[in-house]
Amino acid sequence: MLTIYRETGLSDKTRGFNIIIDGKKVGKIKEGETFCLQFNDQNNHTLQLKIDWCSSIVQEFNGNEDVCFYCKTCIQTKIQIFLSLFYIFFKAASYIELSKKVKS
């Protein structure tokens, strides 16, 4: 089972991240929401989140493991708001932080 939790932050509060699995959009997740998807295979899959031209780094997971991903934008403090243009234009591929935790 794949579970994605979106944490709160200062930017993109009302906008959803597109959930891309194996190159296909399967849903959207907004701030404070949880997205779950059951896989019935033992294949490796890729996960990426996108908003406009910004995204997360592609993560891999196996369809037979229970895995959680936590996501948030890289803008989490008021000081970081001043860096938002830097992230948008120069680090767009890591604008969304996506961290993996395998359930035991």
* Per-residue pLDDT reduced to its tens digit, 43-90: 999 999 999 989 999 999 999 999 999 999 877 666 666 677 777 778
Domain range enclosing 77: 2-102
SS3 content of the chain, % helix, strand, coil (to 5): 15, 45, 40
**Which contiguous run of DSSP H or E holds residue 90?**
helix 84-90
Instruction: Please state, rounded to an integer, the average pLDDT across all residues of the chain.
Output: 88
30 pLDDT above the threshold of 90: yes
35 pLDDT above the threshold of 90: yes
**Which contiguous run of DSSP H or E holds residue 84?**
helix 84-90
pLDDT band at residue 8 under the 50/70/90 scheme: confident
pTM of the model: 0.86
